[in-house]
Homo-oligomer: A and B are copies of this chain.
C-alpha cells in the first residue's frame, strides 16, 4: 500500500504553490523558469517540486508543458497568500513595521500560522482601524519605545518581570535590574540569573507576591518583583 498524496505541505512547497498562484494569475500559466527566478532556486529544483505537487494533486503538470493549479491547489495557494497578506498588513498597520521588513517577516510567518490566527489578526486589525484613538495610542507607544535602535535590548530586559506572572506560572530569571543593596539581597535569597521561580499566589492587592524558589517560599514586595526580569514558561 502506498500513500502517494498527503494533505499537508512543507514551507518550501507552499512557496512553490504561491509562486505559481501569482504567475498564473498574471499570465494564465507558469513556466518552470518563472518559478525558479521568483524563488531564487535552480530549474532542476523546480522540476522536483512540481513532481511532488502533482502527486499531491495541487498542480496540473506534464513534462515540458505550462503549469496550472488544480482547484485544490488554487484554494491552498490562496490560503497561504491570504495569511501572507494579512500578517504583513498587520505588521505594518498595527505594529508599525517598515513595509520591507514586514514583507520579509511575513514570508516566514505565513508558513507557521494557522488560518484561524490569521483571521483573528485580520479582525483585530479591522477593530484597530475602526477606532482611530486606539490606532494612534498604539502607534505612539510603539514609536516612543522604539525611537532609537539602542532601546530594544533595554526594553527586552524589562519586558516581563515576576510582577507580570500569573499564579502558578513558572519562569526563569534572566536579570535583576537594580543596583546595589536590593539586587544583592535578592540574589542572596537565590533569585539570581538562571534560577527557576514559581509564583504561588498574591494577596488580593497584588502585594506581596508569594513565590517558591529551590523549594523555599518567599514573599516579595511588588517593587522587588518588578525589577526581576524573567522568561515565563
Contact = CB atoms under 8 A, between A and B. Distances in A.
Contact of A78 (B82, B134, B231): B231
Interface string A178-203: 00000000000000011110000000
**Which bucket holds chain A's interface residue count?**
35 or more
A232 to B, nearest CB: 4
Interface in A151-180: 152, 155-156, 159-160, 172, 174
Contacts of A152: 115-116, 119
A142 interface: yes
A109 interface: yes
A149 to B, nearest CB: 10
Nearest to A175: B78
Contact of A111 (B86, B112, B116, B120): B112
Given A24-B194, A172-B22, A97 B111 contact: no
Interface of A: 21-22, 24-26, 74, 78, 81-82, 85-86, 89, 91, 94-97, 101, 105, 108-109, 111-117, 119-124, 126-127, 131, 134, 137-138, 141-142, 145-146, 152, 155-156, 159-160, 172, 174, 193-196, 231-233
